[in-house]
């Protein structure tokens, strides 16, 4: 594509390393998510259906609830030490948690200790994946200028989707052949995470971050009444106007948060919410559910490829507006569709439509993050991303269970419609910002 003709060899190498690393990171993260129907029986005590659902929700949500802590830690590292350091540390954390999970004794062997260690590993993986995806997106956004940064940053979401797809493929193989041990999958994940961490040491720090540090040094020197130009060896004149420190409007922070609330809702609806229905109404086994979700993951990969391709020709915010409008109509129809389901294929079609044009921040990640000041970009983006994930996965995992018990399928409306409307509100705010800075064309490029 013409957008990529201006990229130099160093930028292309960075894209490749971050694509591979993000793929490996999300392969490790999603391996447990998609094997949960099997592994929850191994690491958690057997209980009545309601308690079992609660324990499964706990294992799932623990991955995301502690992401805000990871956002604080990695936000500080990313904004003070560097984007590169964050990416390497998070990959190493993922490798460590995979090694522990691959060797962890079962509940039958060591009792409830196995469950707590498993939950702790999921927390570490959630924190690690948060720093990974935000770090990789910011790194590429700061290294590549618009409009090439639109599809380049969006392509990282293809890597996350591919990671989940391959994780499902491995889960399908492990559960389909009795001779294969599920622990092999986690050993594979640990190995590739270690390789990814080593490979990423080749990355260089982003130009924007290095420029920010140079400005900080210059300002510190000037505050001590020293001549910055003499010490830094430059012949620049007046002090640089520190626009990189401008505060962010609260409306921008809220809008960013609301947009990032959309994807957890769509992901949970597509991959988790209907699992009991497959088991109880259609007699699906754990192996059948994993296989069913594998084909859904294929749809998800196709969707992110399509969105990335479209961002080469259409402004990403315009794409988000289309997705939000599409989901309004789909969410209104969803309860009626659920009540009339008569076959697994109908359910698969409904799940596929949710994943086709979901409420995601992709392909506009580069646009959204560009409106944060450089010196707090990692912290702002990481915290808002983490809180959106944590809040929405808790609301969907637990809220839909209780709403469904009182309102049946129509309980979906209490969560899906407000989140979709809020998503569109956030999109329109960023459209206004893009228009303000004359970055939003009236026609497709």
**Tens digits of residue pLDDT in 209-263:** 666 666 655 655 555 554 444 333 343 333 333 344 567 789 999 999 999 999 9
The answer to the question of residue 255 being in a domain is yes
Q: Of 245, 266, 293, at which residue does a domain stop?
A: 245
**205 pLDDT more than 60:** yes
Last residue in a domain, options 245, 271, 295: 245
Which tens digits make up the pLDDT trace of 259-293? 999 999 999 899 888 888 888 888 888 778 878 98
Asked whether residue 126 falls in the same domain as residue 102, the answer is yes
10 & 146 share domain: yes
Q: Both 222 and 154 in a single domain?
A: no
- Pair 376, 312 in one domain: yes
Q: Does residue 228 share a domain with residue 196?
A: no
Considering the domain boundaries, does residue 356 fall inside one?
yes
In a domain, 443, yes or no: no
The Cα-based distances of 304 to 34, 39, 359, 442 in angstroms read 19, 28, 12, 24
Do 233 and 271 sit in the same domain of this protein?
no
65-71: average pLDDT:
74
Which of 58-67, 241-250, 272-281, 377-386 is least confident? 241-250
CATH number, position 306:
1.20.1250.20
Number of domains in the chain: 2
Same structural domain, 320 and 307 = yes
Q: Could you write out the three-class secondary structure of the chain? A: CHHHCCCCHHHHHHHHHHHHHHHHHHHHHHHHHHHHHHHHHHHCCCCCHHHHHHHHHHHHHHHHHCHHHHHHHHHHHHHHHCHHHHHHHHHHHHHHHHHHHHHCCCHHHHCHHHHHHHHHHHHHHHHHHHHHHHHHHHHHHHHCCCCCHHHHHHHHHHHHHHHHHHHHHHHHHHHHCCCCCCHHHHHHHHHHHHHHHHHHHHCCCCHHHHHHHHHHHHHHHHHCCCCHHHHHCCCCCCCCCCHHHCCCCHHHHHHHHHHHCHHHHHHHHHHHHCHHHHHHCCCCCHHHHHHHHHHHHHHHHHHHHHHHHHCCCCCHHHHHHHHHHHHHHHHHHHHHHHHCCCCHHHHHHHHHHHHHCCCCCCCCHHHHHCCCCHHHHHHHHHHHHHHHHHHHHHHHHHHHHHHHHHHHHHHHHHHHHHHHHHHHHHHHHHHHHHHHCCCCCCCCC
Q: Are residues 161 and 228 in the same domain?
A: no
Residue 294 is assigned to a structural domain of this protein: yes
Among the three residues 223, 245, 267, which one is the final residue of a domain in this structure? 245
Separation CA 309–CA 200 (nearest Å): 26
278 and 220 inside one domain: no
Q: Tell me if 445 is assigned to some domain.
A: no
pLDDT digits (tens, 9 = 90+) for 290-338: 789 889 989 999 999 999 999 999 999 999 999 999 999 999 999 999 8
Evaluate whether residue 95 is within a structural domain.
Answer: yes
Q: Both 198 and 224 in a single domain?
A: no
Q: Which domain holds residue 403?
A: 2-205+246-436
Do 83 and 103 have their domain in common?
A: yes
Mean pLDDT on 335-364: 93
Neighbours of 47 (CB within 10 A): 11
Higher per-residue confidence, 141 vs 55: 141
**Confidence (pLDDT) at 234:** 40
Residue 52 is assigned to a structural domain of this protein: yes
In this prediction, residue 210 carries a pLDDT of 64
Do 180 and 230 belong together in one domain?
no
Determine, yes or no, domain membership for 40.
yes
**For residue 403, is pLDDT > 70?**
yes
Q: In angstroms, what CA-CA distances link 366 with 149, 266, 379?
A: 6, 21, 15
């Amino acid at each position: 594509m013409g957008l990529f003709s201006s990229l130099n060899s160093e930028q292309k190498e960075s894209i490749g390393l971050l694509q591979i690393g993000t793929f490996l990171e999300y392969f490790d993260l999603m391996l447990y998510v998609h094997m949960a129907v099997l592994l929850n029986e191994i690491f958690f005590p057997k209980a009545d259906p309601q308690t079992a659902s609660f324990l499964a929700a706990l294992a799932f949500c623990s991955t995301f609830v502690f992401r805000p802590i990871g956002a604080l830690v990695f936000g500080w590292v990313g904004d003070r030490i560097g984007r590169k350091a964050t990416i390497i540390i998070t990959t190493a954390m993922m490798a460590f948690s995979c090694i522990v999970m691959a060797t962890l004794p079962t509940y039958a062997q060591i009792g409830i200790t196995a469950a707590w260690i498993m939950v702790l590993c999921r927390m570490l993986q959630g924190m690690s994946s948060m720093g990974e995806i935000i770090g990789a997106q910011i790194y590429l956004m700061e290294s590549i200028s618009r409009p090439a940064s639109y599809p380049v940053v969006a392509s990282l979401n293809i890597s996350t989707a591919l990671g989940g797809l391959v994780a499902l493929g491995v889960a399908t193989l492990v559960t389909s052949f009795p001779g294969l041990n599920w622990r092999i999958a986690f050993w594979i994940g640990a190995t590739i995470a270690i390789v990814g961490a080593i490979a990423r040491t080749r990355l260089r720090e982003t130009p924007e971050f290095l420029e920010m540090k140079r400005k900080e040094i210059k300002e510190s020197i000037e505050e001590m009444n020293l001549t910055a130009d003499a010490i830094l060896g430059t012949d620049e004149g007046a002090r640089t106007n520190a626009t990189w420190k401008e505060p962010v409007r609260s409306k921008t922070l809220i809008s960013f948060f609301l947009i990032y609330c959309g994807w957890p809702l769509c992901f949970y609806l597509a991959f988790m919410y209907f699992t009991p229905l497959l088991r109880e109404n259609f007699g699906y086994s754990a192996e059948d559910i994993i296989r069913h979700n594998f084909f859904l993951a294929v749809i998800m990969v196709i969707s992110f490829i399509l969105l990335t391709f479209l961002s080469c020709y259409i402004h990403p915010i315009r794409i988000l507006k289309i997705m939000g409008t599409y989901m309004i109509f789909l969410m209104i129809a969803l309860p009626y569709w659920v009540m009339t389901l008569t076959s697994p294929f109908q359910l698969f079609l409904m799940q596929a439509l949710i994943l086709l044009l979901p409420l995601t921040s992709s392909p506009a990640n580069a646009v959204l993050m560009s409106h944060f000041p450089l010196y707090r970009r990692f912290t702002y983006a990481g915290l808002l991303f983490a809180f959106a994930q944590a809040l929405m996965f808790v609301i969907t995992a637990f809220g839909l269970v209780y709403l469904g018990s009182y309102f049946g399928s129509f309980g979906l409306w209490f969560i899906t419609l407000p989140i979709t409307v809020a998503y569109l509100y956030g999109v329109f705010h960023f459209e206004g910002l893009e228009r303000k800075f004359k970055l939003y064309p009236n026609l497709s490029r």
